[in-house]
A and B are shown apart, each in its own frame.
Chain A
Amino acid sequence: MKSLIKKSKKEKVNAKVQQAQCCAKTSSSPAGCHD
């Protein structure tokens, strides 16, 4: 079992960041979230 979480780097990230990662939504993306 090998952890992929690096505790020292763990940062609080907000939901917006999560959204950007999951949906490729950027500040001007026209199709970020619908794709």
Chain B
Amino acid sequence: MQASRFNIISRIKDSPDYFVINILSGNADIISPGEARLLEGDSALTPNEFRQKGYIVDPVQEMLQYRLKYIDFIEKREQEEVQVFFVPTYQCNFSCSYCYQSEYPESPASLSSKVTDAFFNFLETRLKGRKKYITLFGGEPFLGGKSYKDSLAYFIERCATSDIEIAAVTNGYHLDEYFEMLSAARVREIQLTLDGPEQMHNLRRPHKGGMPTFKRIVENLEKCLALGYSVNLRVVVDRENINELPALARFAIERGWTSNPNFKTQLGRNYELHYCQSAKGKLFTRLELYQELHQLIKIHPEILEFHKPAFSVSKFLAENGSLPEPLFDSCPACKSEWALDFSGKVYSCTATVGKPGEEIGTFFPEIQLDDKSISFWQERDTLHIEKCAACNLQLACGGGCGSVAKNQFGNLLAPDCRPVKELLELGMDLYLNS
């Protein structure tokens, strides 16, 4: 018997106590410093409860359980709903300070109906039999201008006639001009972005013409909620605007957004993907962002009413009283996610869509896929990433993002590590240390 290779043991921030979490066995405990020492020391001296909970194991039995859970994971993933992103244009009416698509090629002014037909043909052939939904992405998918709108109207009409749900990632500026068009389709969710209260948002996300955008987005967000649409409000965070988060949270609470069941939020870390313009000094690492959030929430607990950060599996554990299933792969590319664009190209995911050289095939004028490239994406998981194999955090991390790993190491089968242990230290303090 020996300590499980999947034990995650560390001290809870600002506490003398420790935690042990084992995602394979599904157990989590708060333990004393003495118990932590025992668990990290001689396994013969550990209490029987440690064996019952899978913290001390027979390694052969544990490996068997690991393999069974992996098979279960792969089977479930193959039944998962597929998210198909579609980029009708890379044009955008905003000039955000941190845009990662700023150097992408120019787009035409409207979407060809032949491309729309070919897109639905791709869904009906390549993704036949899979449950799926479409997310409009950009650039900005809801641009002004009649010719563009007319071309998108045909796309949305095809979503409606195919009875496929649609979501959209939009800056929200022209959203109200699309409500009538969207009313024919089943809309799953609309994602909008506000980067803080009015002044900060307008500084970071101005219109290309220099006009402020905050008031118009707020109006459109509230129209969405009034129409019964689900709104997912994203805040892109870096050092420039993190301290404005409490003010944005209070604004959302005062406007009644947070008490609406159709309102949810996400914080997106501003980071370097491909061509981010943001000054490097503004960016947080993953851990720095969560350390700042932890501090801010202690001072401004109202942030939690607006957004409750995950801190790895901490939030899940606190809310469900159980651990999630092992995550053998956190990269959905070419598995439960595809991204296609107006030019007829196919990409693995939203991180790669539109980036020259990242194409994995075409759906227009004909379907031609690079099966070898697709296989590389599809085989990426913690069993195939050599560095994940020895890592005790692998089942919470899932190996991270394939595109980031490829950008960083030139290799898809490299890990994009998440600071799981440190995030748990913070999250256990916030959500479970009472």
Is there an interface contact between A19 and B267, defined as CB atoms closer than 8 Å? no
Q: Which of A1, A13, A18 contacts B30 (CB 8 A)?
A: A1
A window 1-35: CB within 8 A of B: 1-11, 13-19, 21-35
Does B153 reach chain A (CB closer than 8 Å)? no
Contact between chains at A27 and B28 (CB < 8 Å):
no
Q: Report if B367 contacts A (CB, 8 A).
A: no
Distance, CA A27 to CA B77, complexed state (A): 16
A6 partner, pick from B188, B267, B321, B328, beta carbons under 8 A: B321
**Which secondary structure dominates chain A's binding surface?**
loop
In the complex, what's the smallest C-beta–C-beta distance from B40 to chain A, in angstroms?
A: 15
Q: Which of A8, A15, A27 contacts B327 (CB 8 A)?
A: A15
The A/B interface has a contact count, at CB < 8 Å, of: 146
Q: Which of B135, B316, B321, B398 contacts A10 (CB 8 A)?
A: B321
A24, B350: Cβ atoms closer than 8 Å: no
Q: Which residues of B contact A32 (CB under 8 A)?
A: 266
Interface membership of chain B positions 391-418, coded 1 if the CB is closer than 8 angstroms to chain A and 0 otherwise = 0000011100101100000000000001
Output the least CB separation between A25 and chain B (Å): 7
Tell me, yes or no, whether B168 is within 8 Å of chain A by CB.
yes
Q: Does B73 contact A (CB under 8 A)?
A: yes
Of B26, B271, B337, B403, the contact of A5 (CB 8 Å cutoff): B26
Q: Is the CB of B401 within 8 A of A33?
A: yes
Complex CA gap A12/B43 in Å reads 30
CA distance A8 to B83 in the complex (A): 33
Q: Are A22 and B232 in contact (CB under 8 A)?
A: no
Complex CA–CA separation, A2 to B432 (angstroms): 11
A24 to chain B, nearest CB (A): 6
In the bound complex, how far is the Cα of B313 from the Cα of A1, in angstroms? 19
Cβ B28 vs Cβ A22 within 8 A? no
CB distance from B82 to the nearest CB of A (A): 11
CA distance A22 to B81 in the complex (A): 18
Hey, which bits of chain B sit against chain A, CB under 8 A? 19, 26-32, 35, 47, 49, 73, 76-77, 80-81, 83, 133, 135, 137, 167-169, 188-191, 232, 234, 264, 266-269, 271, 273, 286, 310, 312-313, 315-317, 320-328, 330-332, 336-337, 349-351, 396-398, 401, 403-404, 418, 432
Supplied contacts A22-B310, A28-B191, A34-B349, 11 more A-B pairs, CB within 8 Å: A2-B31, A3-B27, A4-B321, A15-B325, A21-B324, A22-B312, A27-B189, A29-B169, A29-B268, A30-B268, A33-B332
Q: Shortest 10 CB-CB distances between A and B: which pairs?
A: A6-B321, A18-B324, A9-B321, A34-B401, A28-B167, A4-B28, A34-B351, A28-B191, A10-B322, A21-B316
What would be 20 A-B contacts, judged by CB atoms less than 8 Å apart?
A1-B29, A4-B30, A5-B26, A6-B321, A10-B320, A10-B321, A14-B76, A16-B336, A17-B325, A22-B310, A22-B327, A25-B332, A26-B266, A27-B135, A27-B189, A28-B169, A28-B190, A33-B331, A35-B268, A35-B269
Chain A interface (Cβ < 8 Å from any Cβ of B): 1-11, 13-19, 21-35
